[in-house]
């Protein structure tokens, strides 16, 4: 996911802290749950989306539990570095992972991990999620999804679509659109959204399924045109942009979500306590408002259970693998 600016990050944390104070979460419980600090491992650099979520949630959990919280940033190697640390941590409930679901549904198709993505890690709480948005260069003629499809068909072999990383949801959504409409768009993989968007706005590639964080400012600034979002409902930050499902693409509803993860063999009581504390923090209006302001969805009214999330991971893992196999995808 894209990275907010340092100023936006600072404002988010300050506002969230004020919200936590208003709800009385600044005062710790009568007795701390543990003398050991709670560690939250993040496979992304400081200042990124995962880092912001870890700090917002970690601050509230630490104050409520009455114990210090340490955020450890371990970026790189498609998540292999942070997973090595996570798998080596004691199974005592004092180490959590904050990661995007793609680390377990997408990355294993491009990199043989040392862990079983569907057995060795358990989703504890869905923190925030977001669909992708299909964007294009505004200098091109298409203004609607139907016109976009017609344009690609009228220019066989001449249209490219970018992804922020090969083998990710950004790549898979382009493949699914090719399959759904019989298109022949050529995939061009990049190392992150910024260089992909630069080429998209420069005309080197024509379309891309990208995260809302990075594309919305460019859409609102007139540098990109948005055609559809992959979320089940329209994005609050792009209310006039239809969903893929609205446009008839029933099998192209996909979301990426950030969550807190735990070792499956952490004691059940510890898992339940940590989940309850995280959901309490996410229910703070200041925290929720900041996250939704970035285009993320936060579901505290009816949050998915760990079992439902685990089942969803298995479905997504298979769907992404099938889509990549259909085009004989080979990791680069």
**Domain coordinates of the chain in residue numbers?**
6-130+255-321, 131-254
What local confidence, expressed as pLDDT, does residue 107 receive?
87
pLDDT at 29 over 80: no
What local confidence, expressed as pLDDT, does residue 3 receive?
42
C-alpha distance from residue 303 to each of 80, 123, 183, 232, 309 (Å)? 28, 12, 37, 15, 10
Looking at the whole model, is its pTM more than 0.85?
A: no
The total of other beta-carbon atoms located within 10 Å of residue 167's CB is: 24
Q: What is the pLDDT of residues 244-289, one digit of tens each?
A: 999 999 889 998 899 999 999 999 999 999 999 999 999 999 988 8
Phi, psi of 212 (to 5 degrees): -65, -40
What local confidence, expressed as pLDDT, does residue 137 receive?
97
Phi, psi of 47 (to 5 degrees): 95, -10
Length of the chain: 332
Region of poorest pLDDT, from 74-88, 135-149, 225-239: 74-88
Task: Give the orientation angle of helix 169-181 with respect to helix 306-325, to 10 degrees.
Answer: 60
Tokens of 270: 């510890």
Mean pLDDT, the chain, rounded, equals 87
Say if CB 305 and CB 123 are below 8 A apart: no
Q: Does 131-254 carry CATH code 3.40.190.10?
A: yes
Q: Does 6-130+255-321 carry CATH code 3.40.190.150?
A: yes
Cα–Cα distance, 300 to 19 (Å, whole number): 16
3-class SS at 329?
A: coil
Q: What is the pLDDT of residues 147-169, one digit of tens each?
A: 999 999 999 999 999 998 888 89
Cα–Cα distance, 64 to 60 (Å, whole number): 6
The yes-or-no answer to whether 6-130+255-321 and 131-254 have a common fold is yes
DSSP E strands, the chain: 38-42, 69-73, 95-100, 122-136, 160-163, 186-189, 207-211, 225-229, 255-262
The total of other beta-carbon atoms located within 10 Å of residue 158's CB is: 12
Sign for the pseudo-dihedral over CA of 184, 186, 187, 190:
negative
Stronger pLDDT, 304 or 300, i.e. the higher one: 304
């Amino acid at each position: 996911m894209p990275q907010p600016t340092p100023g936006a990050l600072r404002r988010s944390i300050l506002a969230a802290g004020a919200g936590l104070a208003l709800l009385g979460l600044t005062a710790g419980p009568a007795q701390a749950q543990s003398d050991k600090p709670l560690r939250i491992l993040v496979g992304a650099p400081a200042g990124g989306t995962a880092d912001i979520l870890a700090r917002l949630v970690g601050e509230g959990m630490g104050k409520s539990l009455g114990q210090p919280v340490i955020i450890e940033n371990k970026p790189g190697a498609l998540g292999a570095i942070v997973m090595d640390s996570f798998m080596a941590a004691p199974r005592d409930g004092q180490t959590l992972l904050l990661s995007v679901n793609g680390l377990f549904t997408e990355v294993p198709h491009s990199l043989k991990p040392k862990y079983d993505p569907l057995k060795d890690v358990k989703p504890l709480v869905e923190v925030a999620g977001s669909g992708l948005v299909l964007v294009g260069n505004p200098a091109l003629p298409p203004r609607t999804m139907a016109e976009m499809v017609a344009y690609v068909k009228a220019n066989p072999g001449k249209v490219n679509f970018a992804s922020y990383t090969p083998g990710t949801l950004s790549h898979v959504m382009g493949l699914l659109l090719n399959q759904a409409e019989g298109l022949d768009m050529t995939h061009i993989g990049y190392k992150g959204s910024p260089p992909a968007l630069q080429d998209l706005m420069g005309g080197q590639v024509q379309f891309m399924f990208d995260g809302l964080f990075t594309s919305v400012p460019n859409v609102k600034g007139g540098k990109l045109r948005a055609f559809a979002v992959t979320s089940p409902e329209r994005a609050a930050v792009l209310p006039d942009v239809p969903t893929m499902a609205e446009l008839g693409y029933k099998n192209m509803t996909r979301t990426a979500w950030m969550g807190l993860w735990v070792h499956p063999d952490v004691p059940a009581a510890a898992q339940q306590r940590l989940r309850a504390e995280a959901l309490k923090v996410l229910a703070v209006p200041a925290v929720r408002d900041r996250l939704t302001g970035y285009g993320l969805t936060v579901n505290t009214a009816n949050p998915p259970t760990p079992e439902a999330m685990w089942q969803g991971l298995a479905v997504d893992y298979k769907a992404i693998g099938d889509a990549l196999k259909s085009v004989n995808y080979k990791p680069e």
